[in-house]
């Protein structure tokens, strides 16, 4: 069985925290084209199948809407508001932010850091792609600032989680550490870091650098929810 690597991300110390998050890693034995766009297209239907299993819709005939970012290692962040569609692409953004439940945010990575920023009660959440360039551009502090400006969220009420990404000694720049410092400077309440290096665990992750570009995409996912969007099946699983 080519069981993909899937990990549940603990966003908050509160076990009843009203959001769900996953990171989908390597899909073993999946032969991918060397072209990055083609690899993405090949993985997309597989990813969607996994997402639908992880986030089952209450209504079997429909899927929970999904937004993904057409990333460019920049610092633009899209604010996701209704109407929602089954699948929606946002062009030229490296961050997605919402206050709405019922829409899955999705970011792809392959060494860069997936960063979840959530309000401690689940009122708002953001998913950020911050690699070398995004970190240099300060996309994470920008997201914290936007949450404050747009939704009046005190940075003290935010919890930031850094997922699997490439780290020293596999990479010369410790951008996870830089993100942590940027978040602290922005006044964030709590930072969690799994401290997992993608290049050190190729059985679980793809590493763009270690595999010299001939690699797949991993998916970071975030769904804020209220009781209306949590199905009984989902409750059983988690």
Name the site residues for Zn ion (rule: CB under 5 A).
170, 197, 199-200
Q: Measured from the CB of residue 205, what is the shortest distance to Zn ion in angstroms?
A: 10
Q: Which is nearer to Zn ion, 58 or 195 (CB)?
A: 195
Q: Measured from the CB of residue 176, what is the shortest distance to Zn ion in angstroms?
A: 11
Q: Which is nearer to Zn ion, 166 or 224 (CB)?
A: 166
Ordered DSSP codes for 55-103: S--SSTTS---EEEEE--SS--EEEE-SSP-SEEEEET-SEEEES-SS-
Q: Measured from the CB of residue 167, what is the shortest distance to Zn ion in angstroms?
A: 6
Q: Which is nearer to Zn ion, 6 or 200 (CB)?
A: 200
Residue 167 token pair: 């780290």
Residue 187 token pair: 């006044």
Q: Which is nearer to Zn ion, 79 or 170 (CB)?
A: 170
Q: Say if CB 77 and CB 94 are below 8 A apart.
A: yes
Q: Measured from the CB of residue 198, what is the shortest distance to Zn ion in angstroms?
A: 7
Distance CA 158, CA 210 (A): 33
Residues counted in the chain: 238
Q: Measured from the CB of residue 217, what is the shortest distance to Zn ion in angstroms?
A: 19
Question: What SS3 state is found at 62?
Answer: coil
Distance CA 83, CA 65 (A): 10
Q: Which is nearer to Zn ion, 170 or 191 (CB)?
A: 170
Q: Say if CB 24 and CB 218 are below 8 A apart.
A: yes
Residue 72 token pair: 């460019």
């Amino acid at each position: 069985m080519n069981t993909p690597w899937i990990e549940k991300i603990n966003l908050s110390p509160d076990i009843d925290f009203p959001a769900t998050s996953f990171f989908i890693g390597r899909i073993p034995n999946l032969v991918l084209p060397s072209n990055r766009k083609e690899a993405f297209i090949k993985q997309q239907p597989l990813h969607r199948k996994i997402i639908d299993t992880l986030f089952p819709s209450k209504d079997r005939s429909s899927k929970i809407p999904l937004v993904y970012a057409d990333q460019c290692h920049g610092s633009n962040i899209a604010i996701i508001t209704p109407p929602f569609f089954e699948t929606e692409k946002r062009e030229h953004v490296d961050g997605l932010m919402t206050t709405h439940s019922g829409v899955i945010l999705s970011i792809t990575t392959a060494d860069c850091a997936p960063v979840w920023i959530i309000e401690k009660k689940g009122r708002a959440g953001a998913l950020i792609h911050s690699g070398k360039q995004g970190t240099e551009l300060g996309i994470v502090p920008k997201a914290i600032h936007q949450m404050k400006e747009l939704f009046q969220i005190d940075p003290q009420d935010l919890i930031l989680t850094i997922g699997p990404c490439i780290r020293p000694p596999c990479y010369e720049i410790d951008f996870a550490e830089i993100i942590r410092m940027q978040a602290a400077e922005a006044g964030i309440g709590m930072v969690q870091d799994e401290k997992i290096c993608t290049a050190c665990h190729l059985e679980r992750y793809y590493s763009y650098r270690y595999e010299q570009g001939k690699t797949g995409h991993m998916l970071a996912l975030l769904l804020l929810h209220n009781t209306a969007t949590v199905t009984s099946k989902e409750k059983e699983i988690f």
